[in-house]
Structure 1
Amino acid sequence: MYDSFAQSGNLKGITFWMDILAYLNVIGLYDRMNITISIQFMSVFIIPLVVAKLILNITNDTQLVMFSVLFVSCYPSLYMYSGDIYRDVVMVLIFVILLYLVDIFFRVRVNGKFLCLILVLGLFYILFGFRPYLGVALLLAFFSSYFYLFKNIKILLAFYFMLIIIIHSLGLLDPLLEYRASFGEIDAGSTLGIDISNANVLTVVPLFIISYLGQFFGFFIINANSALVFLTESIPVMYMLFKVKFSILSNQFYRFLFYFIIIYNTVWVMANDNLGTATRLRIFSYLGVLILYIGSLALKYKKDEWKVLR
């Protein structure tokens, strides 16, 4: 699709990535093979390098930095989508650069804060152009991070599910559910077949949870590939997620990641009903979980060192 559009002569696509490829073709720099090689270079070298730089802002522990780099470098779906001119790897690179800048923005006091904010907002806009709901989720999470609402996790979950029921009852989820229903028209074994559009007040949350388990956690296993992805992606992330310490959310950057994961996951889990698409969409959430996990370990190591010193 991307290759044919880039050479079609049409300069206005439905995403920034299509526009970029078309523009490269116009100025004579479009070459599918060279762009693919560049994307592979991003996946193998640049993205892990930026992730390492971000983790170094969190901790100086070499093992944690190397673990993060290894996780990103060996991430199966990221490697798979670097095999052609897909937009996913480019988006992930922009995403991790954005996270690095957001972390710096929350750390600096005055000097450079305004410039950092301009860069952050610019990357929000670029990601919005690549995938609108990703950019919106990041922007909402950025502003929400100024509010600390974690007095009780049970109350927070109850509020979250109640909010889903309310917005579903008001019909605010209809555009997402209509898009989700389109997957039912595709005769593909990777479609979950969960119909939330006809759900009522009593069934919308259970159906959403089932969809969440199948897509974000990868429990919808249909073949050897999905089993491999479950073993190499989902299980490690589930382990990291359950090791995240709730106390780190007193830090604004971690709150930003936490809010982003909630908002972004809610949108794409509601709108998507295909396991293959889910492996692409959840990359950003999985990276967020990785950083929260590293932050939790860094805090634990710091406390242990303090106990030893005392």
Structure 2
Amino acid sequence: MKYKRHVYDRISNEFLLFTLATLFFLKIIIYSLVKSEVISFSLGGGSDAYYYDAYAQRSINIALNIWPVILRYLNDVNLYSRDFVSYIFLLLNMLVIPITVAKLAGIKISVNQKYYFYIVLICLLYPTLYFFTFDIYRDVFMVLCFLIGCVVVKAALTTKSSLIFISLFIVSIIIGWFLAALRPYLGVAFIGALFLWSIRFTKRKIVFLSILYLLILFIANYIGVLEPLTEYRSGFEESEGGSTLGLSFSNPILFIPNFILSFLGQMLGLYVTNPLALVLLLIETAPFFFMLIYVIKNIKWADKFVRFLIIFFVLYASVWLIGNDNLGTAVRLRMYNYFAIYISFFYILKLKNLSLKRLQVVSS
């Protein structure tokens, strides 16, 4: 039986490796075709790459976030090239980000090749992140910064030294501040999760916290705390593309139903309007949804780091699900939520497997 299992695992790993190599090769080909303008496509939500390039080359002087400032600095020291930055993003997307996600999940290729290959496969299959490697969008850089921040947070929450914890905690706050300079509510959610990771979860407590969470959002909306977000959302109705979901939070009574519909339409991508949206639903959302359910079912395995990721997930989603009403923008905003669940899923899976092995050793 063990021999058959070993043969099966070997064949499975070889197939996964072949799939990864094929996908790696195809992505390079597609990237080359897009860069040579043989093919083109858009996820919607507008393109800000031209603005970033114009600011970097001092054609305009209004910086909406810190990313164009970084590009201008690179240009000032003769290190800026629009194509070169794009090539770096491709490298980050295909190598650095998958490896970092695997590290955060605690999966080592020398210990469990299958899980490692699955993590890399999920990252390589992620079409939205790949799309943003084609130009100097800030999204790939932001995902990398978010993952680096998670690496620091994980180190802080797993260390036994108080001095190291304090030092890494301060570094985490600095990274959160930098994320806020890239996208304000991303950094605020990251920093907020740093102070709330001690909240413990159980299946029963999740139900209670979910009800409490919706109640707090309802009250906050009713008294006008969320008015800046709802006003920003209403702006999508006046834009050229219009509102893609058509949900309004102007009626306080309908806030919770509309918030749930926003989650279903934007986070889960169930509002399918074109073939591309269907592709994203199958490739991006389906694995995410499966992993999200698994994390919820196995929430008792959540340690400090997983709790941080889950709390970040809730805080960050709370802002953009209310403030955004464009599906094209939603696919780029939800990337951090997806990666938080990817990491949590494999992290818990690893913990459960280790526990099972220990039980087998004890019983034998």
CA distance in 1, matches of 2:355, 2:235: 50
Match of 1:225 in 2: 276
Which residue among 37, 53, 71 is the counterpart of 1:3? 53
- CA-atom RMSD in angstroms: 1.9
TM-score computed with the length of structure 2 as normaliser: 0.80
- C-alpha distance 11-24 of structure 1, shift in aligned 2 (>3 A): farther
CA distance in 1, matches of 2:137, 2:152: 25
Deviation at 1:9, TM superposition (A): 5.1
Match of 1:18 in 2: 68
Q: Is the 1:12–1:18 Cα contact (8 Å) retained in structure 2?
A: no
CA distance in 1, matches of 2:88, 2:166: 32
Aligned ranges 1:30-109 → 2 under 5 Å: 30-56=80-106, 60-109=111-160
Match of 2:176 in 1: 124
CA distance in 2, matches of 1:31, 1:292: 36
Secondary structure of the corresponding residue to residue 98 of structure 2? helix
The yes-or-no answer on 1:185 pairing with 2:238 is yes
Deviation at 1:118, TM superposition (A): 3.2
Deviation at 1:238, TM superposition (A): 0.4
Deviation at 1:303, TM superposition (A): 3.1
Q: Is the 1:5–1:18 Cα contact (8 Å) retained in structure 2?
A: yes
**More deviation in 161-170 or 295-304?**
295-304
Q: In the TM superposition, what whole-angstrom CA distance separates every residue of 1:54-111 from its partner, at most 9, and x where no partner exists?
A: 2237994332222112211221101001110000000011111111111111111216
Deviation at 1:234, TM superposition (A): 0.4
CA distance in 1, matches of 2:342, 2:106: 14
CA distance in 2, matches of 1:34, 1:45: 16
Q: Is the 1:137–1:263 Cα contact (8 Å) retained in structure 2?
A: yes
**More deviation in 265-274 or 103-112?**
103-112
* Unaligned ranges ≥5, structure 1: none
The yes-or-no answer on 1:157 pairing with 2:210 is yes
CA distance in 2, matches of 1:38, 1:127: 20
Q: Is the 1:190–1:222 Cα contact (8 Å) retained in structure 2?
A: no
CA distance in 2, matches of 1:154, 1:58: 34
Match of 1:263 in 2: 315
Secondary structure of the corresponding residue to residue 313 of structure 2? helix
CA distance in 2, matches of 1:24, 1:186: 33
CA distance in 2, matches of 1:124, 1:216: 23
Which residue among 337, 352, 356 is the counterpart of 1:285? 337
Match of 2:31 in 1: none
- C-alpha distance 12-212 of structure 1, shift in aligned 2 (>3 A): same
Larger radius of gyration: 2
* Unaligned ranges ≥5, structure 2: 1-50
CA distance in 2, matches of 1:183, 1:189: 6
Q: In the TM superposition, what whole-angstrom CA distance separates every residue of 1:23-79 from its partner, at most 9, and x where no partner exists?
A: 222223221111111111111111112222222379943322221122112211010
Secondary structure of the corresponding residue to residue 144 of structure 1? coil
